[in-house]
Amino acid sequence: MQHRPCSWVPARGPKGLGRDDRYGRSANCHPASHASGIGFPGGQGMTGGAGSGSARARRKSASVEAMPHGPAATEPVASLRITAEEEDEGLPKYANRSVERALDILVFLHEYRRPARITDICKGTGLSPGTAYRLLAVLVGRRFAYKNSITRRYSLGFETFYIGATSRAMRMTSGRAHPLLVQLARDVGASVFFGAQAGSQVVLLDRVLGREETGRVAARIGTYVDAHATAIGKVLLAWQRDSETREVFRERGLEAHTLKTITTVPSLIAELQRVRARGWAVDDGEFRPGMFGIAVPIISLRDEVNLAIWMVHAGGAPDEAETLDRVRRAEAVAKAISDYRPVV
Residues 32 and 108 in one domain: no
Which range is most confident: 14-18, 71-75, 255-259? 255-259
pTM, entire model? 0.56
Rounded Cα distance, 166 and 206, in Å: 15
Digit-coded pLDDT (tens) for 189-216: 999 999 988 888 998 888 898 766 544 5
Helix axis angle, 118-125 to 129-141, nearest 10°: 110
Which residues form the domain of 124?
95-157
Rounded Cα distance, 241 and 269, in Å: 10
Type of residue numbered 158: F
| CB within 8 Å of 84: residues ≥ 6 apart | none
Residues 232 and 327 in one domain: yes
Partners of 16 in beta bridges: none
Q: In Å, how far are 108, 117, 260, 319 from 128, measured between CA atoms?
A: 15, 13, 49, 57
Longest Cα–Cα distance in the chain: 71
Question: Does the structure show a pLDDT above 70 at 276?
Answer: yes
Domain-terminating residue out of 75, 103, 121: 75
Digit-coded pLDDT (tens) for 285-308: 999 999 999 999 998 877 788 889
Residue 275 domain-assigned? yes
Which of the four pLDDT bands, split at 50, 70 and 90, describes residue 114? confident
Please report the pLDDT score of residue 256 as a whole number: 95
Greater model confidence, 296 or 1: 296
Residues 178 and 247 in one domain: yes
Residues 151 and 229 in one domain: no
Rounded Cα distance, 221 and 11, in Å: 10
Domain-terminating residue out of 40, 75, 110: 75
List the helix and strand counts (H, then E) for the chain.
14, 8
| CB within 8 Å of 242: residues ≥ 6 apart | 269, 272
Greater model confidence, 274 or 142: 274
Burial class (CB in 10 A: 0-12, 13-18, 19+), 102: buried
Residues 134 and 114 in one domain: yes
Domain-terminating residue out of 104, 126, 157: 157
- When mean pLDDT is compared across 8-17, 108-117, 122-131, 207-216, the lowest value belongs to 8-17
**Count of C-beta atoms within a 10 Å radius of residue 277:** 8
Greater model confidence, 58 or 164: 164
Residues 291 and 195 in one domain: yes
| CB within 8 Å of 194: residues ≥ 6 apart | 173, 177, 181, 204, 205, 206, 207, 307, 308, 309, 310
Residue 225 domain-assigned? yes
For residue 45, the SS3 value is: coil
Greater model confidence, 187 or 300: 187
Helix or strand holding residue 185 (H, E): helix 178-188
DSSP letter for 302, please.
T
Question: Does the structure show a pLDDT above 70 at 5?
Answer: no
Burial class (CB in 10 A: 0-12, 13-18, 19+), 229: buried
Q: CATH number, domain at 200?
A: 3.30.450.40
Residue 263 domain-assigned? yes
Q: How many domains does the chain have?
A: 3
Give me the mean pLDDT over the 228-246 stretch. Answer: 94
Residues 230 and 295 in one domain: yes
Residues 198 and 291 in one domain: yes
Residues 238 and 130 in one domain: no
Residues 117 and 183 in one domain: no
Please report the pLDDT score of residue 329 as a whole number: 97
Rounded Cα distance, 144 and 4, in Å: 26
Count of positions (residues) in the chain: 344
DSSP letter for 174, please.
I
| CB within 8 Å of 268: residues ≥ 6 apart | 228, 234, 237, 245, 249, 254, 262
Residues 240 and 289 in one domain: yes
Give one DSSP letter per residue of 211-245, joined into a string.
Answer: TTTTTTS---TT-EEEGGGSHHHHHHHTTS-HHHH
Type of residue numbered 285: G
Residue 253 domain-assigned? yes
Partners of 204 in beta bridges: 195
